[in-house]
Amino acid sequence: MRAVVVRSHGAPEVLAVEDLPTPHPGPGQVRVTTELTSVNVADVHSRRGGYDAGGALPFTPGLDCVGVVDAVGEGVTDLVRGQRVAAWTSGGSTPSRCSPRPP
């Protein structure tokens, strides 16, 4: 999986596209092939440092996305593979994945 990663705080030049292991959804999660994501003020502040939206370094920015469910974790009954979704995440939707929780 390719994803944008922030390994140190700073200017936009700290953003790097890296190959990462493909995550597997845990109980109550789904994996989404992200088609679109946003870059918002929380992502910019997290990259610069001093704002907790991205979490501890290193982190993958992105708090929301739209895409297609490509894997479903145990206990998820209302989302299925191939379903289009919009998701608000705790980070990591840029550019390749996110894990929304079912309602």
The pLDDT of residue 103: 42
Classified as helix, coil or strand, 86 is strand
Do 39 and 94 touch, CB atoms closer than 8 A?
yes
Q: State the pairing for strand pair 30-37/64-72.
A: antiparallel
**67-100 in b/e burial notation, b at 16+ Cβ within 10 A?**
bebebbbeebeebeeeeeeebebebbbbbbbbbb
Instruction: State the Cα–Cα distance between residues 70 and 51, nearest whole angstrom.
Output: 31
Do 33 and 96 touch, CB atoms closer than 8 A?
yes
The pLDDT of residue 94: 72
pLDDT tens for each residue of 8-66: 999 999 999 999 898 899 999 999 988 888 888 988 999 999 777 667 899 989 888 99
pLDDT tens for each residue of 79-102: 999 999 998 887 788 755 444 444
Q: What is the pTM of this model?
A: 0.80
* All residues at 6 or more sequence positions from 29 whose CB lies less than 8 Å from its CB, including other chains: 73, 76, 99, 100, 101
The pLDDT of residue 53: 67
The pLDDT of residue 62: 87
